[in-house]
Chain A
């Protein structure tokens, strides 16, 4: 397989730094799952670790806090890519540790 590293890097750059409706700070915090005010913090934690339990009420709380659908959408995408990225990078590091190569 071609190395997906560059595809991954550009995917992350696009959602974190590309044009969007949520601020770059909020997108980055959602990606990192840290430093977010409520109710966004708990929501991002749920997307990262228990996505199937996200409910309409969770989305409703974000709307009530003033977030638009587009902003919520971006936060969800950043949170999902962030958690999957931590898993991926952890596993690549484990592989490097096992093989002693890059």
Chain B
């Protein structure tokens, strides 16, 4: 759809990497995304990858759904848990703090706003104020990335490439 990203690099890398390499002096979000996804947090890496997949599902961004579903599944070592969460959050086998947090992130992503009552529900489910802030950082990163992936038409890779990307993200992160 948007040729400049595709033609930028002849290297066999996924489109997300090409974007990161395209004009880093203008747009370079790797530091923020790395902190949100891999910095110290009461949420596990797997939980945060699930948040990324969940936000991307609400945005209907195929590339990011595929990439972060695979990364979360690998990090949990439990693909069924991830797919159950993306299929039906309310019945998924996740903790109540995570369920309530994902529900709030879904509303924020869909409607671009939440209110104090929404936050009270997440707190009442057992998530701490800091956990909510950490989750909002993940949602910010992916509400940016999903839009770029959609507009620039990131190609959804084959399953082998998606899994290789997931392993890379767990080993090396987002820098």
Contacts and interface: CB of A to CB of B under 8 A. Distances in A.
Contacts, number: 137
Contact of B148 (A1, A8, A77, A88): A77
A49 B60 CA distance: 12
B2 A59 contact: yes
Given A4-B32, A4-B137, A81-B144, A54 B114 contact: no
Contacts of A92: 133, 136
In terms of DSSP, what is the predominant structure of the interface of chain B? helix
A29 interface: no
Nearest to A95: B119
A76 B144 CA distance: 10
B133 A95 contact: yes
Interface residues of B, number: 50
Contact of A84 (B26, B28, B144, B151): B144
B175 interface: no
A26 interface: no
Contact of A76 (B59, B61, B148): B148
A48 B28 CA distance: 19
A87 interface: yes
Contacts of A47: 147, 151
A70 B26 CA distance: 10
Contact of B112 (A11, A54, A73, A86): A86
Nearest to A48: B147
Contact of A79 (B27, B28, B118, B147): B147
In terms of DSSP, what is the predominant structure of the interface of chain A? helix
Contacts of A76: 147-148, 151-152
B130 interface: yes
A73 B2 CA distance: 10
A95 B27 contact: no
Contacts of B118: 94
Interface string B109-133: 1001111111110010000011011
Interface of A: 1-2, 4, 7-8, 11, 14-15, 18-20, 47-49, 51-52, 54-56, 59, 69-70, 73-74, 76-77, 79-81, 83-88, 90-92, 94-95, 97-99, 101
Q: Which 6 A-B pairs give the minimum distances between C-beta atoms?
A: A80-B147, A98-B119, A84-B143, A97-B116, A51-B150, A7-B32
9 contacts: A1-B40, A4-B36, A7-B31, A15-B27, A47-B151, A73-B4, A91-B104, A94-B113, A99-B123
